[in-house]
């Protein structure tokens, strides 16, 4: 199977200092979304890739995909590509979540889920179960999803601990997965 080309969405508005997952649908500034869509389009032309992209329904990903669709691309919006769901933590300031809750997460990094949320182990399973539609090679993704996909590819069924979980890719970064 050919590698997937996964671009992390642009920096969303209002994310600084907050826990942002699937439950917080933040927008991306119009210019940043269009700029990343242009980079994706140029890369696809250069590499002669099909004009077919997949993204999550969250605006920070889908806004980029909608630019591509305006320019004639096929777009597949898939809920399985959404970011991890932090449940009750989603959208809150990290300082307001509290050290005790964060310590509990660190102690059971893969298994812990805040109320109504998704554990990292569940995200890893969701990512491993996903396969692209026929002909799709380009994704607009989320940092947690990208990390989970890379983790599964490199470490198989091993579950991460907080100390071994890597930093997310930069906004707008391209990874081959």
- pLDDT 10s digits, 85-137: 999 999 999 999 999 999 999 999 999 999 999 999 999 999 999 999 999 99
| CA 85 to mean position of chain CA atoms | 11
Domains and CATH numbers, the chain: 5-29+51-176 (3.40.50.1240)
pTM: 0.96
Confidence of residue 175 (pLDDT cuts 50, 70, 90): very high
What tokens does 82 get? Answer: 């959404």
Can you give the pLDDT at residue 22? 97
Can you give the pLDDT at residue 1? 63
- pLDDT 10s digits, 36-53: 999 999 999 999 999 999
Can you give the pLDDT at residue 141? 96
- DSSP label at residue 12: B
Can you give the pLDDT at residue 50? 96
Residues 6 or more apart in contact with residue 143 via CB below 8 angstroms: 8, 83, 168, 169
Percent of the chain scored above 90 by pLDDT?
A: 98
Can you give the pLDDT at residue 2? 81
Percent of the chain scored above 70 by pLDDT?
A: 99
Output the CA–CA distances (angstroms, integers) from residue 141 to 27, 73, 97, 108, in the order listed: 14, 17, 25, 25
- pLDDT 10s digits, 65-75: 999 999 999 99
- Strand-pair category, 5-8 with 174-176: antiparallel
- pLDDT 10s digits, 52-65: 999 999 999 999 99
What tokens does 60 get? Answer: 């920070």
H or E element at residue 5: strand 5-8
């Amino acid at each position: 199977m050919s590698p997937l080309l996964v671009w992390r969405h642009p920096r969303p508005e209002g994310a600084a200092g907050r826990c942002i997952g699937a439950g917080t649908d933040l927008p991306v500034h119009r210019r940043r979304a269009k700029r990343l869509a242009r980079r994706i389009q140029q890369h696809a032309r250069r590499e002669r890739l099909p004009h077919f992209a997949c993204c999550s329904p969250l605006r920070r990903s889908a806004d980029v995909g909608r630019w591509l669709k305006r320019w004639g691309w096929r777009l597949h919006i898939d809920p399985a590509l959404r970011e991890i769901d932090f449940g009750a933590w989603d959208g809150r300031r990290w300082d307001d979540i509290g050290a005790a809750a964060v310590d509990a997460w660190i102690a059971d990094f893969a298994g812990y889920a805040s109320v109504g949320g998704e554990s990292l182990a569940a995200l890893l399973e969701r990512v491993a179960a996903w396969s692209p539609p026929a002909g799709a090679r380009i994704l607009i993704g989320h940092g947690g999803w990208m990390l989970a996909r890379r983790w599964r590819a490199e470490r198989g069924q091993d579950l991460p601990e907080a100390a071994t979980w890597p930093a997310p890719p930069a906004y707008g970064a391209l990874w081959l997965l």
